[in-house]
Amino acid sequence: MNINHTVVTGFILLGFSRITEHQVSLFPIFLCMYTITVGGNLSIIITYKLSPSLHTPMYFLLANFSFLEILYVSCTVPEMLSGLLSECKVISFSGCVIQMYCFLLFSGTECFMLAAMAYDRYNAICHPLLYNVIMNETVCIQQIAGLYIIGAANALIHTVVTFSLPFCGSNKIDHFFCDVPPVLELSCQDIWVNELVIFVIAGCVIIGSFVVTIISYVEIISKVLRLHSVSGRKKTFATCSSHFIVVAVFYGSGIFMYFRPRSSHRIGQNSVVSLMYTVIAPLLNPFIYSLRNKEVKSNMKNIILRQFKF
């Protein structure tokens, strides 16, 4: 028996349309958060480039992390801001494919980047004598290249498997961008294969990098506990606790979004949960990972003073 499916040529992003009366007031808030996120990360990149003293593996990873963060927020937040100013936000089929691929590329790469940064700190604190051998320039460049390659492969698999499905009926996506779970809900075909792919592939990316990150910090804390310096312990614990906040927000919301049962989905819940790892976590990252660092702040201040000749 032949079943005719409506050919979907575009989608409607519902976003925050259920709270229409608040959309206009939400726009300046999210615009401010986006501006701070991009500006903060850009300032870190510039500081790294103009400060020879920061040309070490740790700051190399931080600068690349900041560059990734700019790409990451820019593939979703501008679309959300546009949707807040319009009653109905339409995105083409190809536009949805591209946005999903870019988001998965940058989010997957960020998972591994967080793990790489935690691993770098583990080596610096637990293996200080071998640090320059383990984390030399060549290794760092290879790490970054490898992270993007894995992220690209992960994004390609999810995007191809998702958009190989037939879509019928409603073309309204209950989200502010084209993410995998809400797009799958529009399919008129059994999606158990897609759910299996999410469980296996996304599990390796999200859970795998999360485990590496946690193990690295546990080893760091274990090492620090053996230190006799009270001030050293307090400083390290303060740093690790702030890092754990970002890790918990980013991974926690991501795991909830991608691994919860379909039966537990609630209308409008996708957008609220996704705000945590698409807006909140990127906003916190530059402050927690870099701008709280005395060396970064000192070099940033010197650059400003030289620029304006104070």
Confidence of residue 2 (pLDDT cuts 50, 70, 90): very low
Q: What number is the average pLDDT over the span 205-230? A: 84
Is the predicted pLDDT of residue 141 greater than 90, yes or no?
yes
Give me 284's structure tokens. Answer: 């916190």
Please name the residue that has the structure tokens 């979907």: 8
In the prediction, which pLDDT does 290 show?
75
Contacts of 265 (CB under 8 A, 6+ apart): 181, 185
pLDDT tens digits, residue range 166-212?
887 678 888 889 998 889 888 888 888 888 888 888 888 888 899 99
Pairing of strands 89-92, 10-13: antiparallel
Give me 80's structure tokens. Answer: 């959300």
Confidence of residue 20 (pLDDT cuts 50, 70, 90): low
In the prediction, which pLDDT does 112 show?
93
CB 194 within 8 A of CB 165: yes
pLDDT tens digits, residue range 266-301?
656 677 788 888 999 899 888 887 777 788 888 888
Compare 17 and 40 and report the one with higher pLDDT: 40
Is the predicted pLDDT of residue 3 greater than 70, yes or no?
no
Confidence of residue 247 (pLDDT cuts 50, 70, 90): confident
Is the predicted pLDDT of residue 230 greater than 60, yes or no?
yes
Percent of the chain residues past pLDDT 90, beyond the cut: 34
Is the predicted pLDDT of residue 5 greater than 70, yes or no?
no
In the prediction, which pLDDT does 1 show?
37
Is the predicted pLDDT of residue 239 greater than 80, yes or no?
no
In the prediction, which pLDDT does 63 show?
92
Residue 26's alpha-carbon distances to 2, 81, 250, 292, in angstroms, are 46, 9, 22, 28
Q: How far apart are CA 253 and CA 274, in angstroms?
A: 7
Q: What number is the average pLDDT over the span 122-140? A: 89
The alpha carbon of 276 is separated from its chain's Cα centroid by a whole number of angstroms, namely: 10
Q: What number is the average pLDDT over the span 201-230? A: 84
CATH homologous superfamily of 10-308 equals Rhodopsin 7-helix transmembrane proteins (1.20.1070.10)
In the prediction, which pLDDT does 215 show?
92
End-to-end Cα distance, the chain: 79
In the prediction, which pLDDT does 266 show?
62
Predicted structure pTM score: 0.89
Pairing of strands 172-173, 10-13: parallel
In the prediction, which pLDDT does 18 show?
67
Contacts of 76 (CB under 8 A, 6+ apart): 99, 103, 176, 177, 278
Estimate the share of the chain in helix, then strand, then coil, as percent rounded to the nearest 5. 75, 5, 20
CB 103 within 8 A of CB 75: yes
pLDDT tens digits, residue range 58-107?
899 999 999 999 999 999 999 888 888 876 688 999 999 999 999 999 99
